[in-house]
Amino acid sequence: MNVCMLAYSYYETDNRIRRYAESLRDRGDTVDVIALKRKGESDFDVVGGVNVYRIQERVLNEKKSITYLFRVMKFLVRSTLVLTRRHKELPYDAVHVHSPPDFEVFAALFIKCLGTRVILDIHDIVPEFYAAKFGATNDSLVFRCLVWVERLSILFSDHVIISNHLWYERLISRSVTPDKCTVLLNYPDNALFYSRGQKLNGAGEFKIIYPGTLNWHQGVDIAVKAFSRVADQIPNARFYIYGDGPQRPFLAKLISELGLGDKVFLKGLKSLDEIARIMADADLGVVPKRNDAFGGDAFSTKTFEFMALGVPIVLSRTRIDAYYFNDSVVKFFDPENTDDLASSFLELANNEKRRKGLIENASNFITEFRWDRKRTDYWAILERLVGKNVSHNAR
């Protein structure tokens, strides 16, 4: 089977896209990826047996909606041309389009007319994503227009994959029928995310880590403020923030204003292989999302990944996280409550027994949510759409 992954994203750092691509590679399929490019990267590489075409540079600094729209529309035009040209050279059986934006599916307009099947994978639902990113309300004209675009994108697609059950419920209430969609969570790739058996609270630093995008809804500023309140009470604690996004300048300024330059460190984006090793070395992971209309329902891949790595987690009690988890597997704090998060940092830094309990319970919990157990669900979707049953001789 020949499959193309199409994503307005960086392939090397996007766990969800890489999981799909590498699982197809493992069973002998040919996989192309059309994606974004970071400065200094080549236009084409073979990454772990996957052909990666990088067609447009992006800086994660969009503060105005018009800037974001211009960039995604430019990517839509370019990806349409590249996808069509590649299809002529080696026809695709299926194109798997990763949203946002959902209207990127229309890059496959020409090749769909030739029989190629199209999957729309909704990582983030666009109307709520836009509202959170640019401050729009749910009753605004632009929000209603985005819901209309969402419906058209789903109508154009042959099947829809949705990244969590709350968004599944929302989408079937407004844009899609249950028979046309499947929920596939952001399962961790157990080839990368597994326990290294690191020592807890050993000599040296007590490492707290946040890995991910630096958007407002992620609440990283809340974690920085909380850490500042207990930094003196945990002298060996250090907070490492890995990622990039629009909030980076604000976070750098906040760290400086709070006098945390020697204890809180802003690092850049890392590949999945690198970030897995970095996260495994943490004593504590933090996922401090806001419980707004978007962040409250957005399932974070980081939570499962920390669990698989054997790292205890402090987690904002958002709607989505309360849906999947309980206090036996994560340490919850009240969303946007800086004092509560500070107390959670202090409690876990000083209570090794509690950390070990969270690790043990989470390790048992995560065994049911591993990608090697769930990838056949994805294969089944493709085979049903394409009508081919390729043997699964995984490496």
What is the rounded distance in angstroms from the CA atom of residue 116 to the CA atom of residue 229? 55
Cis peptide before 101 (omega within 30 of 0): yes
Q: Is 245 helix (H, G, I), strand (E, B) or coil?
A: coil
What is the rounded distance in angstroms from the CA atom of residue 347 to the CA atom of residue 312? 12
**Domain 206-369 sits in CATH 3.40.50.2000:** yes
Instruction: Compute how many other C-beta atoms are within 10 angstroms of the C-beta atom of residue 192.
Output: 22
Q: What was the pLDDT predicted at 120?
A: 97
Instruction: Compute how many other C-beta atoms are within 10 angstroms of the C-beta atom of residue 276.
Output: 22
Q: Which residues contact 265 (CB under 8 A, 6 or more apart)?
A: 238, 239, 240, 241
Give the closest residue to 379 by CA, choosing from 19, 9, 87: 19
Phi, psi angle pair for 50, to nearest 5°: -110, 130
**Domain 2-186+371-386 shares a fold with domain 206-369:** yes
Whole-prediction pTM value?
0.83
DSSP string, 31-47: EEEEEEE-TT--SEEEE
Residue 211: strand pairing partners: 242
Please tell me the class of the 2-186+371-386 domain: alpha beta
Going by DSSP bridges, is the β-strand pair 50-57/44-47 parallel, antiparallel, or unpaired? antiparallel
Q: What was the pLDDT predicted at 8?
A: 92
What is the rounded distance in angstroms from the CA atom of residue 279 to the CA atom of residue 267? 13
R_g of the chain, CA atoms, integer Å: 21
What is the rounded distance in angstroms from the CA atom of residue 307 to the CA atom of residue 363? 6
Q: Is 58 helix (H, G, I), strand (E, B) or coil?
A: coil
Q: How many CA atoms lie less than 13 Å away from 298 in the CB half-sphere?
A: 28
What is the rounded distance in angstroms from the CA atom of residue 104 to the CA atom of residue 341? 38
**Local confidence pLDDT in tens for the 395 residues of the chain:** 999 999 999 998 888 899 999 999 999 999 999 999 988 889 999 998 999 999 998 776 556 777 778 888 999 999 999 999 999 998 999 999 998 899 999 999 999 999 999 999 998 888 887 777 776 777 788 888 988 999 999 999 999 999 999 999 999 999 899 999 999 998 888 888 888 875 544 458 899 999 988 988 899 999 999 999 999 999 999 999 999 888 999 999 999 999 999 999 999 888 888 999 999 999 999 999 999 878 788 888 899 999 999 999 999 999 999 999 999 999 999 999 999 999 999 999 999 999 999 999 999 999 888 888 889 999 999 999 998 544 444 43
Instruction: Compute how many other C-beta atoms are within 10 angstroms of the C-beta atom of residue 297.
Output: 23
Q: What was the pLDDT predicted at 74?
A: 93
Strands (E), the chain: 2-7, 30-37, 44-47, 50-57, 94-99, 117-122, 159-162, 181-183, 206-211, 237-242, 264-267, 284-287, 313-316, 331-333
Domain spans, the chain: 2-186+371-386, 206-369
Q: Is 78 helix (H, G, I), strand (E, B) or coil?
A: helix
